[in-house]
């Protein structure tokens, strides 16, 4: 049995907003990962099935290894089509945000959200948040935020499951919908390696498989699609670039844009590298940083009861979950490394 995790009042309020809306826009977070894509596309399949006019907007390009997800090709990429995307947002009766909790995470859509989130103002558009990060902002009218869910996709599944109980019915357990949910659950748990001890997750997986999901194929399509440069980049990171700080059980990998260029770096190529140093028995914290076009992007991972999100938020304008967080630094790579060196002893204890 899958329990009814989501508060019934929230489900009822979301139901009203969905029923009142005809044109719905779904937005997910910048640098979309499998869960961002899975949760947003699953919502789209569900709402389309209810007869709504639905668009999904992603802030920027998604990685090639997610392009096979059902519906992904129809996503509007804000940074490529800002005018068309803004027009869609402006025309929406309802906006649903998945897998993020604050306007900043929507990239260049942040201003749109800030301008449209205040209730009872001229520009107000109702917003529903479906998310699993800590500290949701007040950007939504209905905030469905459950950090105990390992993925936003799992939360979307639960949301739709609970809507069905109060009679928002659709024939939604179709293969497209189920594949999107499964892929989000799979990627946000590293193929069920972490945050994956809730038995109900496997009841959901069983339902998705009964709907036709081929989990082995999903794994293959996501994790076995890299190009040669990415594999050599992993080798370079582990062989040459990984620095170990043994007293604090910390590993750091920092890459300049010149280094990335040598490996023909593409969106998604950094995925998973930050987790690798944790395979060393004595490493509990791992930090990965790379030079991006206008900033340094950082990823943080840790094991067990050792939070890394405070390091990310205090020092690198970021945040996230206890064991998986991210941040950014507007400055040079050297500065970001120095900030790390000045602070890791305090945050990694």
Beta strands in the chain (DSSP E): 23-28, 53-58, 76-77, 94-98, 127-131, 142-145, 243-245, 250-255, 285-291, 296-302, 319-320, 324-329
Q: Is 327 one of the binding residues for ligand 5GP (CB under 6 A)?
A: yes
Which one of ligand 5GP, Mn ion, none interacts with residue 324, CB within 5 to 8 A by kind?
Answer: ligand 5GP
Distance (Å, whole) CA 25 – CA 260: 35
Q: Identify which of residues 184 and 319 has a Cβ nearer to ligand 5GP in the complex.
A: 319
Least Å distance, CB 300 to ligand 5GP, is 7
Q: Are 315 and 344 in contact (CB under 8 A)?
A: no
Q: Identify which of residues 67 and 310 has a Cβ nearer to ligand 5GP in the complex.
A: 310
> Taking each helix axis from N to C terminus, what angle separates 152-165 and 34-49, rounded to the nearest 10 degrees?
20
Q: Identify which of residues 23 and 198 has a Cβ nearer to ligand 5GP in the complex.
A: 198
Identified binder of ligand 5GP from the candidate list 14, 54, 242, 325, rule CB under 6 A: 325
Which one of Mn ion, ligand 5GP, none interacts with residue 133, CB within 5 to 8 A by kind?
Answer: ligand 5GP
Identified binder of Mn ion from the candidate list 130, 152, 204, 250, rule CB under 5 A: 152
Q: Is 320 one of the binding residues for ligand 5GP (CB under 6 A)?
A: yes
Which one of ligand 5GP, Mn ion, none interacts with residue 109, CB within 5 to 8 A by kind?
Answer: none
**Contact set for ligand 5GP, span 279-318 (CB under 6 A):** 299, 318
**Contact set for Mn ion, span 237-256 (CB under 5 A):** none
Least Å distance, CB 206 to ligand 5GP, is 26
Identified binder of ligand 5GP from the candidate list 133, 230, 249, 290, rule CB under 6 A: 133
Q: Identify which of residues 141 and 328 has a Cβ nearer to ligand 5GP in the complex.
A: 328
Q: Identify which of residues 133 and 158 has a Cβ nearer to ligand 5GP in the complex.
A: 133
Which one of ligand 5GP, Mn ion, none interacts with residue 152, CB within 5 to 8 A by kind?
Answer: Mn ion
Q: Is 152 one of the binding residues for ligand 5GP (CB under 6 A)?
A: no
Q: Is 277 one of the binding residues for ligand 5GP (CB under 6 A)?
A: no
Q: Is 319 one of the binding residues for ligand 5GP (CB under 6 A)?
A: yes
Question: How big is the site for ligand 5GP, counted in residues (CB under 6 A)?
Answer: 12
Q: Is 126 one of the binding residues for ligand 5GP (CB under 6 A)?
A: no
Return the sign of the alpha-carbon dihedral for residues 34, 39, 40, 44: positive
Q: Is 326 one of the binding residues for ligand 5GP (CB under 6 A)?
A: yes
Query: Which neighbouring-strand residues pair with 54?
Result: 24
Cβ-defined contacts of 270-277 (< 8 Å, 24+): 270/299, 271/33, 271/63, 271/65, 272/190, 273/233, 273/234, 273/237, 274/299, 274/300, 274/301, 275/190, 275/301, 276/234, 276/237, 276/238, 277/238, 277/242, 277/244, 277/251, 277/253
Within a 10 A sphere around the Cβ of 124, how many other Cβ atoms?
A: 13
The residue with tokens 């800002």 is: 82
Distance (Å, whole) CA 11 – CA 26: 17
- In sequence order, the 6+-apart residues with CB closer than 8 A to the CB of 230 are 263, 266, 269
Nearest residue to ligand 5GP, scored by beta-carbon proximity: 326
Q: Are 35 and 104 in contact (CB under 8 A)?
A: no
> Taking each helix axis from N to C terminus, what angle separates 215-223 and 175-188, rounded to the nearest 10 degrees?
60
Contact positions vs ligand 5GP (CB under 6 A): 133, 274, 299, 318-321, 324-328
Contact positions vs Mn ion (CB under 5 A): 35, 99, 152, 188
């Amino acid at each position: 049995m899958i329990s009814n995790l989501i508060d019934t009042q929230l489900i009822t309020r979301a139901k009203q907003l969905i029923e009142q809306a005809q044109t719905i826009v779904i937005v997910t977070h910048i640098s979309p990962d499998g869960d961002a894509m899975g949760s947003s596309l699953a919502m789209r399949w569900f709402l389309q099935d209810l007869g709504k006019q639905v668009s999904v907007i992603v802030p920027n390009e998604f990685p090639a290894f997610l392009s096979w997800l059902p519906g992904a090709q129809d996503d509007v990429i804000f940074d490529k089509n800002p005018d068309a995307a803004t027009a869609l947002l402006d025309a929406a009766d309802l906006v649903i945000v998945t897998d993020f909790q604050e306007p900043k995470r929507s990239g260049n859509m942040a201003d749109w959200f800030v301008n449209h989130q205040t209730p009872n103002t001229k520009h107000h558009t109702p917003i529903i948040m479906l998310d699993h990060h800590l500290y949701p902002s007040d950007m939504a009218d209905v905030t469905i935020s459950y950090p105990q869910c390992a993925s936003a996709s799992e939360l979307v599944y639960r949301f739709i499951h609970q809507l069905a109980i109060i009679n928002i019915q659709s024939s939604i357990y179709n293969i497209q919908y189920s594949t999107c949910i499964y892929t989000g659950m799979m990627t946000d748990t590293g193929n069920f390696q972490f945050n994956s001890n809730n038995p109900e997750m496997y009841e959901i997986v069983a339902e998705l498989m009964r709907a036709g999901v081929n989990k082995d194929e999903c794994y293959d399509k996501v994790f076995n699609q890299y190009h040669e440069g990415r594999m050599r980049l992993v080798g370079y990171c582990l062989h040459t670039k990984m620095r170990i700080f043994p007293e604090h059980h910390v590993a750091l990998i920092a890459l300049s844009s010149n280094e990335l260029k040598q490996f023909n770096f593409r969106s998604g190529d950094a995925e998973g590298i930050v987790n690798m140093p944790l395979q060393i028995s004595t490493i509990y914290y791992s930090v990965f940083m790379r030079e991006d076009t206008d900033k340094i992007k950082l990823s943080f991972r840790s094991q067990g009861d050792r939070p890394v999100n405070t390091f990310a938020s205090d020092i690198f304008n970021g945040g996230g979950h206890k064991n998986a967080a991210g941040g950014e630094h507007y400055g040079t790579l050297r500065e970001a490394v120095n900030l790390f060196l000045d602070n890791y002893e305090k945050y990694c204890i």
